[in-house]
């Protein structure tokens, strides 16, 4: 009979682990106790990645193939040696989040069903001034790994030209991460402003392979996701196991390893031995603190040339100088475009104030993209729909919506049904024409799939049809 509980020793404490034999990765057979042993094997590096940082708990109570839920608030039932700090979110709400400083606290978090760790870029002692800038490289569908590495090398050059030290790691998913330690003397708005400048400079230096465009329909190559530096966004930390079938790990690298690295080589089964052999390539990160002045100088140059602020995540109020926060395909010209953008911002803010986004404001990651950015669209109105009543946004790009589903698997199944019914249309679509968005719900994410028919001959484009899956995340059954 499987053990109901075991106890492990960590940082001088005995930490209980419930259901240690519960399988978390069905395809590899790894159990909860395997996750605990992994994190203990790389504990110094894993703790360094989250040390004294508040973190949202992303709990996979049904294992890696189940749907996670996001829990900002630390559980009421917790040992007295689990530390917390109170954060305030854009909605005005507050939550006490867990802060990890040692291996015992790390094991306690893993026992809750957390597979990866998602800390904020601030320390508990100063929640208003980040001490790291995070570069998240997010490839559009169809982009091969070598191109992502090429963009990573450009980003490294931009950071170094700006007087900063770049620290690379695999994301453990499709993308790539680069961190840099900064002096904690700039607020989130300035750190994000610096990240926007970095993204635009990377695009200038490598326009064929990199983009700073927020809207998925405008992207090509590798998106440099500057909004991961907005307040309350989080990214899987160093040495985090990711919820993929092969239990990949977000692994710190040296720059010599980057050009030829294979992300599939870094898993729960291989990283402990690597760590034991070479140690942590990021061990000296905290000693390499730099200034944002160089990147902020780039930002000032861009602003002086007339570039507006880039779009913010949807749950933020519209910012001064921000370009219209509405998809280009739905953007109207003149004053109407501004009104539509302001309406989108008001719609997102209204959802947040109603409490619908409260538990998921910190749910970042590579799949964030423009998720949730159509807050002003009428319920049930499909992306890419035709003309509507006066004042309704109209599409300029031929977008149609295929599915809104509680899970990605349900959404992809809906897409497969659409493909079978439109077998003559599917060959016209490029990988980047399939827009799969991870959207924010109350506590769980949900998935939307849209298709850009720009490569389909105009006379052959199918019209908007009833959705293959029509899930309402804000309705009575929403999560």
Q: What percent of the chain has pLDDT over 70?
A: 83
Higher pLDDT, 4 or 2: 4
- pLDDT at residue 192, as a whole number: 96
- pLDDT at residue 335, as a whole number: 46
CB 234 within 8 A of CB 118: yes
- pLDDT at residue 99, as a whole number: 97
What is the secondary structure of 352-390 as a DSSP string? HHTTSSGGGTT--STT-TTTTTTTTSPTTPPTT----ST
Q: Which two tokens stand for residue 292?
A: 């944002």
Distances (CA, A) of 162 to 69, 89, 129, 291, 435: 38, 30, 19, 8, 34
Q: What is the mean pLDDT of residues 106-125?
A: 97
Quick one: CA dihedral 145, 41, 365, 223, positive or negative?
Answer: negative
Q: Does pLDDT of 151 surpass 80? A: yes
Q: What is the mean pLDDT of residues 140-169?
A: 96
**How does the average pLDDT of the chain come out, rounded?**
85
- pLDDT at residue 414, as a whole number: 93
- pLDDT at residue 47, as a whole number: 98
Between CA 72 and CA 364 the distance in angstroms is: 13
- pLDDT at residue 249, as a whole number: 98
Four-CA torsion 14, 15, 21, 24, nearest 10 degrees: -150
Confidence of residue 18 (pLDDT cuts 50, 70, 90): very high
Q: Does pLDDT of 274 surpass 60? A: yes
Confidence of residue 333 (pLDDT cuts 50, 70, 90): low
Q: What is the mean pLDDT of residues 199-221?
A: 92
- pLDDT at residue 72, as a whole number: 85
Between CA 48 and CA 221 the distance in angstroms is: 32
Q: What is the mean pLDDT of residues 435-455?
A: 84
User: What does the buried/exposed string (b/e) look like for 242-259 if buried means 16 or more CB atoms within 10 Å of the residue's CB?
Assistant: bbbebbbbbbbbeeeebe
295 φ/ψ angles, rounded to the nearest 5 degrees: -70, -35
Q: Rounded to two decimals, what is the model's pTM?
A: 0.77
Q: Picking from 77-91, 172-186, 341-355, which range would have the lowest pLDDT averaged per residue?
A: 341-355
Q: Does pLDDT of 379 surpass 70? A: no
CB 135 within 8 A of CB 195: yes
The residues, ordered by sequence, that sit 6+ positions from 35 with a Cβ below 8 Å of its Cβ are 24, 110, 115, 241, 268
What confidence tens digit (pLDDT) does each residue in 118-130 have? Answer: 999 999 999 999 9
Q: Does pLDDT of 353 surpass 60? A: no
Q: Picking from 134-138, 333-337, 474-478, which range would have the lowest pLDDT averaged per residue?
A: 333-337
Q: What is the mean pLDDT of residues 389-403?
A: 64
Q: Picking from 310-314, 341-345, 475-479, which range would have the lowest pLDDT averaged per residue?
A: 341-345
- pLDDT at residue 315, as a whole number: 72
**Cβ count within 10 A of residue 226:** 27
Q: Using CB atoms within 10 A of its CB, is residue 55 exposed (0-12), middle (13-18) or buried (19+)?
A: buried
What confidence tens digit (pLDDT) does each residue in 49-94 have? Answer: 999 999 989 999 899 998 888 888 999 999 999 999 999 876 778 8
Confidence of residue 329 (pLDDT cuts 50, 70, 90): low
Q: What is the mean pLDDT of residues 397-405?
A: 90
- pLDDT at residue 216, as a whole number: 80
Q: Does pLDDT of 357 surpass 50? A: no
Spell out the domain ranges in the chain. 346-470
Distances (CA, A) of 295 to 198, 210, 404: 7, 18, 39
- pLDDT at residue 361, as a whole number: 35
Closest CA to 315 of 344, 337, 287: 344
What is the secondary structure of 231-292 as a DSSP string? TT---PPTT-B-SSTT-BB--B--TTTSTT--GGG-BTTTHHHHHHHH--TTTTGGG--B-S
User: What does the buried/exposed string (b/e) look like for 116-129 if buried means 16 or more CB atoms within 10 Å of the residue's CB?
Assistant: bbbbbbbbbeebeb
Q: What is the mean pLDDT of residues 236-260?
A: 97
- pLDDT at residue 393, as a whole number: 40
Q: Using CB atoms within 10 A of its CB, is residue 160 exposed (0-12), middle (13-18) or buried (19+)?
A: middle
- pLDDT at residue 374, as a whole number: 39
- pLDDT at residue 261, as a whole number: 95
Q: Does pLDDT of 233 surpass 70? A: yes
Pairing between strand 210-211 and 222-224? parallel
Q: Picking from 23-37, 140-154, 404-418, 465-479, which range would have the lowest pLDDT averaged per residue?
A: 465-479
Helix, strand, coil % (nearest 5) of the chain?
30, 20, 50
95 φ/ψ angles, rounded to the nearest 5 degrees: -155, 145
């Amino acid at each position: 009979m499987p053990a109901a509980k075991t106890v492990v020793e960590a940082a001088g404490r005995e930490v209980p682990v419930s259901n240690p034999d519960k399988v978390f990765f069905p395809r590899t057979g790894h159990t909860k106790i395997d996750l605990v042993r992994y994190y203990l094997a790389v504990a110094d590096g894993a703790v360094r990645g989250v040390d004294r940082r508040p973190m949202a708990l992303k709990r996979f109570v049904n294992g890696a193939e189940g749907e996670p839920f996001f829990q900002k608030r630390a559980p009421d039932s917790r040992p007295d040696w689990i530390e917390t700090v109170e954060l305030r979110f854009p909605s005005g709400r507050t939550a006490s989040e867990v802060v990890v400083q040692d291996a015992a606290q790390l094991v306690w978090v893993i026992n809750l069903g957390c597979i990866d760790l998602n800390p904020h870029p601030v320390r508990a002692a100063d929640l208003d001034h980040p001490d790291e800038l995070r570069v998240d490289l997010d490839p559009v569908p169809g982009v091969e790994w070598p191109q992502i590495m090429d963009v990573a090398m450009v980003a490294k050059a931009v950071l170094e030209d700006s007087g900063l030290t770049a620290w690379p790691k695999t994301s453990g998913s499709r993308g790539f991460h680069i961190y840099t330690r900064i002096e904690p003397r700039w607020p989130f708005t300035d750190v994000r402003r610096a990240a926007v400048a970095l993204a635009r400079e990377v695009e200038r230096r490598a326009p064929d392979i990199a983009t700073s465009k927020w809207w998925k329909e405008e992207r090509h190559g590798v998106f440099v996701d500057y909004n991961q530096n907005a307040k309350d966004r989080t990214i899987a930390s160093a040495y985090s196991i990711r919820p993929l079938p092969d239990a990949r790990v977000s692994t710190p690298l040296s720059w010599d390893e980057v050009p030829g690295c294979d992300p599939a080589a870094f898993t729960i089964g291989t990283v402990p031995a690597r760590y034991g052999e070479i140690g942590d390539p990021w061990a000296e990160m905290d000693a390499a603190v730099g200034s944002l002045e160089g990147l902020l100088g780039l930002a000032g140059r861009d602003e002086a040339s007339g570039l507006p602020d880039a779009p913010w995540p949807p749950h933020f109020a519209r910012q001064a100088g921000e370009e219209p926060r509405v998809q280009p395909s739905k953007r109207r010209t003149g004053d109407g475009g501004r009104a539509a953008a302001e309406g989108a911002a008001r719609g997102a803010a209204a959802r947040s104030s109603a409490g619908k986004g409260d538990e998921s404001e910190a749910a970042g990651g590579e799949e964030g993209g423009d998720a949730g950015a159509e807050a002003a669209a009428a319920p049930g109105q499909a992306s890419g729909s035709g003309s509507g009543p006066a004042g309704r946004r109209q599409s300029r790009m031929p977008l149609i919506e295929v599915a809104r589903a509680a899970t990605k698997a349900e959404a992809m199944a809906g897409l497969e049904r659409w493909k079978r019914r439109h077998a003559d249309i599917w060959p016209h679509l490029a990988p980047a024409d399939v827009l799969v968005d991870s959207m924010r719900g109350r506590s769980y994410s949900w998935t939307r799939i849209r298709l850009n028919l720009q490569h389909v001959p105009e006379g052959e484009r199918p019209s908007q049809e009833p959705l293959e899956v029509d899930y309402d995340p804000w309705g009575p059954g929403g999560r």
